[in-house]
């Protein structure tokens, strides 16, 4: 059972455009939703995270939108840059269970 | 300060052999996690340590996999009788009491 579903699998955006990646979860016990960025040959790096008591969180060009009733959350990258080209993973964690459940990832390519 | 480090960065072994993968967490982090990432997939949880004890080992796929953290710092993931299906990148992460998980660069294991 895939508890966190991520789409699209891949995404191509022009420089300066907006990249949008979506995730949906099933487990209502999840209460922490981070996004990770991974470059080839590197480990995932925490980008931004949100808890369900807010509907949006913004850090620089990165914004998470969260819809608790729909059990969906999304990452928006404004003014996308070639250096943003990487694989992005959404994840979720719930309550006293500290393990992260990841989506399958989105390969983002930003063309110059 | 130094991040999570993992050694070796690459490990090639033959089917049936025993391997050990090492993780050095961020100094002072009490929690340590092991994940496995197959090609084109998100990381999958294996085991979580709080201090020296395994608080959750529900992700270990079978009894060929074992992990230890004897002094509450460095951890070793041990795989007996390796199989070709064990080939993946093994990621280690650590966290403080604030629970953001910081990942190491991973060990790429190839079983021939």
Q: What is the 3-state secondary structure (H, E, C) of B69-83?
A: CCCCCCEEEEECCCC
| A87 strand-pairing partners | A38, A107
**What is the dihedral sign for C-alpha A44, A46, A51, A52?**
negative
pLDDT-based confidence at A2, cuts 50/70/90? low
Cβ atoms within 10 Å, residue A63: 18
Q: Round to whole Å and give the CA distance between A62 and A19.
A: 10
SS3 A84: helix
State how far residue B9 is from chain A, nearest Cα, in angstroms.
10
Whether A69 has a pLDDT exceeding 70, the answer reads yes
Question: Are the Cβ atoms of B33 and A91 closer than 8 angstroms?
Answer: no
Write out the DSSP string of A59-83: ETTEEEEEETTTTEEEEEESS--GG
- pLDDT, one tens digit per residue, over B36-92 is 999 989 999 999 999 898 889 999 999 999 999 999 899 999 999 999 999 999 999
At A97 the pLDDT is 66
> Which of A42, A100, A105 lies closest to B101 in CB terms?
A100
Question: B92 in the Ramachandran plot: left (φ > 0), alpha (ψ -120 to 50) or beta?
Answer: beta
Contact A23, A73 (CB under 8 A): yes
At A1 the pLDDT is 56
Whether A100 has a pLDDT exceeding 90, the answer reads yes
Q: Round to whole Å and give the CA distance between A79 and A19.
A: 8
Residues of A in contact with B106 (CB under 8 A): 42-43
Q: Round to whole Å and give the CA distance between A59 and A64.
A: 9
Question: Are the Cβ atoms of A100 and B43 closer than 8 angstroms?
Answer: yes
Residues of A in contact with B38 (CB under 8 A): none
Residue A88 near chain B (CB below 8 Å): no
> Which of B42, B100, B105 lies closest to A43 in CB terms?
B105
- pLDDT, one tens digit per residue, over A3-55 is 899 999 999 999 999 999 999 999 988 989 999 999 999 999 999 999 989 99
At B81 the pLDDT is 97
Residues of A in contact with B48 (CB under 8 A): 98-99
User: Average model confidence (pLDDT) for chain A?
Assistant: 94
The number of C-alpha atoms within 13 Å of B66 and in the hemisphere containing its C-beta is: 9
At A89 the pLDDT is 98
Cβ atoms within 10 Å, residue B70: 9
Question: Are the Cβ atoms of A46 and B100 closer than 8 angstroms?
Answer: yes
pLDDT-based confidence at A73, cuts 50/70/90? very high
Residue B104 near chain A (CB below 8 Å): yes
């Amino acid at each position: 059972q895939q508890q966190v579903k991520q789409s699209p699998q891949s995404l191509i955006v022009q420089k300066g455009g907006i990249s949008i990646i979506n995730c949906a979860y099933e487990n209502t016990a999840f209460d922490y939703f981070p996004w990770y960025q991974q470059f080839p040959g590197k480990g995932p790096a925490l980008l931004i995270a949100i808890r369900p008591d807010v509907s949006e969180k913004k850090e620089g060009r990165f914004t998470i939108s969260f819809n608790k009733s729909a059990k969906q959350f999304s990452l928006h990258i404004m003014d996308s840059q070639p250096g943003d080209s990487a694989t992005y993973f959404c994840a979720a964690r719930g309550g006293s269970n500290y393990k992260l459940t990841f989506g399958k990832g989105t390969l983002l390519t930003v063309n110059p | 300060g130094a991040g999570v480090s993992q050694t070796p960065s690459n490990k090639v072994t033959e089917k049936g052999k025993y391997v050990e993968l090492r993780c050095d967490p961020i100094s002072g982090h009490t929690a340590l996690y092991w994940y496995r990432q197959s090609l084109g997939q998100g990381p999958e949880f294996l085991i979580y340590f709080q201090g020296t004890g395994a608080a959750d080992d529900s992700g270990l796929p079978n009894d060929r996999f074992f992990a230890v953290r004897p002094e509450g710092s460095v951890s070793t993931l041990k795989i007996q009788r390796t199989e070709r299906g064990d080939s993946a990148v093994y990621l280690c992460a650590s966290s403080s009491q604030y629970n953001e998980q910081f990942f190491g660069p991973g060990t790429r294991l190839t079983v021939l």
